[in-house]
Structure formats: structure tokens, C-alpha cells
Amino acid sequence: MTKKLLPILLLAGPALAQTTIKDALIKHWKVSGDFTIGVAKAMPAESYNFRPSPEEMSFGQLIAHLAGADLMACSYASGQKPPTMPAKIMALRSDPKTEIDRDLAVNFATDAFAFCNQAIASMTPEQLDKTVGTATRQMTAFEWLWSYFTHTAHHRGQAEVYLRVKGIKPPDYQF
């Protein structure tokens, strides 16, 4: 009897330990948010208008851009109304010369990631499979979360380069 039971238990262990897609999303969005906010806080306030070249967004604009994009993606995915964006963040959408200071950028990113963490945690597995979005961009809720998780990583990496150009060591990578 023991010889027959052992293979079953060995095979069942990994299956029972598997993480669901929702669990993975919750975990990694939280880590991504904390890491991104750490990167945002690493830049001194007086350097938030820094841009490595005139064509680039300033550091503050970059942090505001990724947080705003995440806020909207998490709203589309979850169906929840996002918190109201600060007026200066909204102004950036129509006027690319709008500069975003450190306090506004860090607070906005903190609020955006808090919204995303709550929104993702509240979603059902069925919601993750539902197609949602705008009239011109339809994806499953999972795809919205996955693509904007990737978008955040892209821009966070860009922000880390800004830090290094300024001679600042970014926070250690988290996963």
C-alpha cells in the first residue's frame, strides 16, 4: 500500500502548491509597485525635471505617465472607477511641458498602485477572462494587467537609467 501511495503523494504535492494566475498577479503587481515607488523616491526632488535628452520625458513626467497608464489599465480590467487624477497630472496629458514634482509623482504612483492592488485582489477568475476596454482597444482583463505590468517594467527601467545618468544607484531589483 505504501509503495502505491508514495508516487501519488509525490505527484500531488506540486499540483497542490501551484499558484493561481490571480495570486501571481496580486503578488507581482504589489512587488512591482513597491519597487517602482522605490525607484521614484531615489531621484532627489531637485532632479525631477531632469531629462537625458530634450526628446525624453522628464523623470517626473515618466513616473506620472506609468502610474496614470496603470491606473487606467487596472480600471479597464476590473471595471472599477479609478480615483480622480490630480489636476496637474491631467494637464500633462494635453501639455507635455507640464512638469511634475517629486511629491506629486510619488503620491500619485502610490495611489495608483494601491488602486491596482485592491482592484486586482477583488477580481474573480472569470473577470480575468472577460474582454474589456475601449471601442478601439479590446483585450481580456488579464491581457490589460499583463501588458501594463510590462509597460511599467519598461518605464521603470528607463527611470533607472535616468538615475544612473545622474550618478544615483537605483534600488536593488525586486522580484
Grid cell locating 2: 505504501
Q: How confident is the model at residue 40 (pLDDT cuts 50, 70, 90)?
A: very high
Tell me if 45 is assigned to some domain: yes
Q: How confident is the model at residue 7 (pLDDT cuts 50, 70, 90)?
A: low
Tell me if 11 is assigned to some domain: no
Tell me if 9 is assigned to some domain: no
Taking residues 128-155, what's their average pLDDT?
A: 96
Q: In the prediction, which pLDDT does 4 show?
A: 59
Where in the sequence is the domain holding 122, given as residue range(s)? 19-165
Tell me if 171 is assigned to some domain: no
Tell me if 6 is assigned to some domain: no
Tell me if 10 is assigned to some domain: no
Q: Write the pLDDT tens digit of every residue in 88-136.
A: 999 999 999 999 999 999 999 999 999 999 999 999 999 999 999 999 9
Tell me if 13 is assigned to some domain: no
Tell me if 12 is assigned to some domain: no
Question: Residue 168: what are its φ and ψ, rounded to 5°?
Answer: -105, 130
Taking residues 40-62, what's their average pLDDT?
A: 97
Residue 25 to residue 69: CA distance in whole angstroms: 17
87: domain CATH number? 1.20.120.450
140 three-class SS? strand
Q: Write the pLDDT tens digit of every residue in 57-86.
A: 999 999 999 999 999 999 999 999 999 999
Q: In the prediction, which pLDDT does 42 show?
A: 98
Q: In the prediction, which pLDDT does 2 show?
A: 54
- State CA 106 to chain mean position distance: 13
* Alpha carbon distances (Å) from 167 to 117, 147, 158: 32, 30, 14
- State CA 65 to chain mean position distance: 11
For the chain, the domain total comes to 1
Q: Is the pLDDT of residue 26 over 50?
A: yes
Given a contact cutoff of 8 angstroms between Cβ atoms, the answer to whether 140 and 132 are in contact is yes
Q: Is the pLDDT of residue 3 over 80?
A: no
DSSP H helical segments within the chain, as ranges?
2-17, 21-42, 59-78, 87-94, 102-122, 125-129, 141-165
Neighbours of 75 (CB within 10 A): 18
Q: What is the pTM of this model?
A: 0.87
